[in-house]
Amino acid sequence: ADEDEGEDDPPGLVWRYRRHHVADYVATGVFVATALTAELAPGEDVIGWRQTNPFDLWVRDTFVLGDYRGRRVAARISDATISALVAWHAVDAAIAWGVHDAPDVAWQMFALDAQAMTFTLAFTGVTKRIAARERPAGHACRTDPSYDRRCEDQGQFGSFFSGHTSLSFTSAALTCHHHIAFPLYGGGAGDVIACVSALFAASSVAYERILADRHWASDVLVGFAAGGLSGGLLPWLSFYGQPSTDVVARWSVAPTATPTGGGLSLQGLLF
């Protein structure tokens, strides 16, 4: 009797929010195309926004590392951290599928991650092209050509706003959404730690971009807001804040015993 208990219980992870439809996948494709166009189109050497302000100058004077090697290390750490933040979403999807036997949840999370992150990349890329703000290192290079090995780079006018920061906070906000909605790590402390750790890592990326002299403080603050919008607010408005109206079936085939003999039965759960 104990073995029969719970046979009809729903699985631990069930996607109970609005599901992705064709329009969502089309939108993700548009975001990918826009991001690639903004990244690959010529014109990064166009001289644009060079004005500064007291706040940005104060933060730069206070926090930017003084030697090139230190700035380069900070930039590389920010690259590694953002890569880990993004890659961890594949780990969470794999856990949802492999550990919790919830491929539908894994796919819905993956599709949401892809949509939010490509939106961030597209929004950031287009804004960078329009604003064409000079990076703080470029500002220093005008008075000291030996300040940085990147002084001759054509990408010195891509400062506004910080793409590392926007994508990092998009990723962190998505991580928090997923772990609030689903006990991927068993619920409780494990999922709380996942959210807090992601937010801490995203904050470290923002700080490292300032240390590396790759962005002004205002670039980083706007990047934080953009990441919160695309990874926090929009996914909640579009998905996690919208209960599902779709019916999803999970079916299984199981052996059965009857008075006249054995056989197979088709069993299903509707959500």
- Give tens-digit pLDDT for 177-187: 999 999 999 98
Q: Where is average pLDDT lowest: 63-72, 137-146, 160-169, 184-193? A: 137-146
Q: Where is average pLDDT lowest: 35-44, 181-190, 228-237, 250-259? A: 250-259
Q: Above 80 in pLDDT, residue 61?
A: yes
Structural domain contains residue 261? yes
Residue 17 gets the label, from left (phi > 0), alpha (psi -120 to 50) or beta, of beta
Q: What total number of domains does the chain contain?
A: 1
CB 24 within 8 A of CB 111: yes
Whole-prediction pTM: 0.84
Average pLDDT, the chain: 87
Question: Would you state the pLDDT for residue 181?
Answer: 95
Tokens of 12: 């631990």
CB 165 within 8 A of CB 223: yes
Angle 178-79-49 from CA coordinates, rounded to 5°:
105
Spatial neighbors of 268 by CB under 8 A, at least 6 apart, are: 249, 250, 251, 252
Whether the upstream peptide bond of residue 161 has omega within 30° of 0, thus cis, is yes
**Number of Cβ atoms within 10 Å of the Cβ of 152:** 9
Structural domain contains residue 44? no
CB 87 within 8 A of CB 214: no
Structural domain contains residue 117? yes
Structural domain contains residue 250? yes
| Average pLDDT score over residue span 8-17 | 73
Closest Cα partner for 147 from 56, 99, 213? 213
Task: Tell the burial category of 57 from Cβ atoms under 10 Å away from its Cβ (0-12, 13-18, 19+).
Answer: middle
How far apart are alpha carbons 31 and 21 in whole angstroms? 16
Structural domain contains residue 23? no
Structural domain contains residue 70? yes
Structural domain contains residue 133? yes
Give the domain range for residue 88.
57-270
Question: Would you state the pLDDT for residue 143?
Answer: 85
Structural domain contains residue 174? yes
Q: Above 70 in pLDDT, residue 113?
A: yes
Closest Cα partner for 95 from 194, 161, 215, 204? 194
Question: Would you state the pLDDT for residue 9?
Answer: 41
